[in-house]
Structure 1
């Protein structure tokens, strides 16, 4: 599921067609959409969904977002506080649905749908992931994949196999990412054949690319906004809301023993 607009409380179905929360046993049940293809040709199944969330908890990358799923499901902050049986029992397949049992309390239950809108909750093809060298889904190997120290060494660092309208065609690290339209996408097809995102750090080069028509969209640093404000035939979006946070830290131990302050 994903947000259905600007509200963080409205959701639209994506890979789940419907869902419900049962307060009696604190479970969320999601019915998984049929007829969905992964980019590499596999069919989406409820087992893929179960595997994806268990794999998220198994990996629990240091500094990563696994606490977002550990909190609602098991009421803990990470894999150091659980056994594999805990992980395995938190997410279960039931026919065409996946059932999450929430052990983290009412607060987590209230925001669980929002957590599923986060990119960390993306679904991977279990069979394909294992073929890439990923976790095989068993208790015997889970600690081999727990808390990888370097995300660049993980099996899917430079691979992608999702279900969205775009599929990865090329990733030149530090340079550009090229996406191509996925013709077997289950939803409405996108309008373009390709999307290319380039990393152009030097503003003058980026600006000229945009003004010459080589780029359809560019990010404009705040210091250079005035350079584009009076340019005809472009749309400049300013003062957009964001989730950024600026912090100021003060050293409160700067006074010596002889200081009057």
Structure 2
């Protein structure tokens, strides 16, 4: 790597330069007003590895699983925790016991009603070492998890089916963010009979409670879902969703297929953004997501081992220019390693106070 290129990466970096992604998508004008029926074709840049919420490790699977599965609670657009299959819940004063009151009459896609025992099974499955769940660590604070994992108990003491529609979780110690874990990817309910019948193929033919049911998967090509007429919040407007897989193809190809009428939405290549906005032919959506991009420095090399030098680089860079001119406003300049909306995010005012303090210490 040339010295010039090396410095370019340095400059672009220590800002803790953290950029918050702003996915910039186009939608056909036909999708502007809701109407019943129709098929929505959505691009996926890569193929999901498995459609099992307990095993999911990629955002592509999450995109699909959000349509197939539900949990006790969910996030609203502002990342507040709101009801889902649990119509309400309470937390004991000591922060150890979470009691969830389930909606009655919610059905799995196979027609069976969901009960509290299904959550006991689903969460116990996550803690089963043989399953190797990607959500395993989030559930180890549940009372009795350690004994179950070590094979000293056949059940998890803190997972309790109090009655058909009351599910209780007892923690071994208070953990404030636990309610948010219940809204995350692994905390979805699955039907035991389907998991045991399909075994390792459950993630290729999943059954959940969500607004859409799994129909088919053409490996590496597309995944088809259809509307769930029995969904507890009502039947979706759409008849089907088809996820088209592009295997990491350039976004220009996805955009081309959108323009040719083979997709209902598309990413916009940076060089096309201004033209799209001017044309006003399509719906234009730009929204922040909890994603960070940054360049890191290696302090093992000179002059990066000098802390004052690294700070000087940080303040020397016109970060706003990088965001607006190089990335065409597809990113938002972050103020730290946590994006807005995530607990612990530092506000602009707090950042200004911190920068002022650093400058006083180093000038």
Hey, what's the Cα distance between the residues in 2 that align with 1:41 and 1:186? 12
Tell me the residue number matched to 2:24: none
Deviation at residue 253 of structure 1 after TM alignment: 3.2
Q: Determine if the alignment matches structure 1 residue 178 to structure 2 residue 224.
A: yes
Check the 8 A contact 1:57/1:87 in 2, yes or no.
Answer: no
* Paired residue secondary structure (1:119): coil
Structure 1 alignment gaps of length 5 or more: 134-153, 256-261
Hey, what's the Cα distance between the residues in 2 that align with 1:65 and 1:198? 27
Q: Determine if the alignment matches structure 1 residue 231 to structure 2 residue 231.
A: no
* Paired residue secondary structure (1:31): strand
Tell me the residue number matched to 2:240: 194
Hey, what's the Cα distance between the residues in 2 that align with 1:58 and 1:41? 27
Deviation at residue 254 of structure 1 after TM alignment: 4.0
* Paired residue secondary structure (1:225): helix
Hey, what's the Cα distance between the residues in 2 that align with 1:196 and 1:73? 38
Judge which range, 225-234 or 164-173, deviates more: 225-234
Hey, what's the Cα distance between the residues in 2 that align with 1:79 and 1:85? 6
Hey, what's the Cα distance between the residues in 2 that align with 1:67 and 1:22? 23
Hey, what's the Cα distance between the residues in 2 that align with 1:116 and 1:236? 32
Hey, what's the Cα distance between the residues in 2 that align with 1:74 and 1:15? 23
Question: What TM-score results when the alignment is normalised by the length of structure 2?
Answer: 0.56
Hey, what's the Cα distance between the residues in 2 that align with 1:222 and 1:57? 44
Instruction: Give aligned pairs, total.
Output: 227
Question: What TM-score results when the alignment is normalised by the length of structure 1?
Answer: 0.76
The structure-2 alpha-carbon separation of the partners of 1:228 and 1:28, relative to structure 1 and needing over 3 Å to count, comes to same
Question: Looking at both structures, which has the greater relative contact order when contacts are Cα pairs under 8 Å and sequence separation is at least 6?
Answer: 2
Deviation at residue 191 of structure 1 after TM alignment: 0.6
Structure 2 alignment gaps of length 5 or more: 1-72, 303-363
Aligned-pair Cα RMSD in Å: 2.8
Check the 8 A contact 1:16/1:30 in 2, yes or no.
Answer: yes
Judge which range, 55-64 or 114-123, deviates more: 55-64
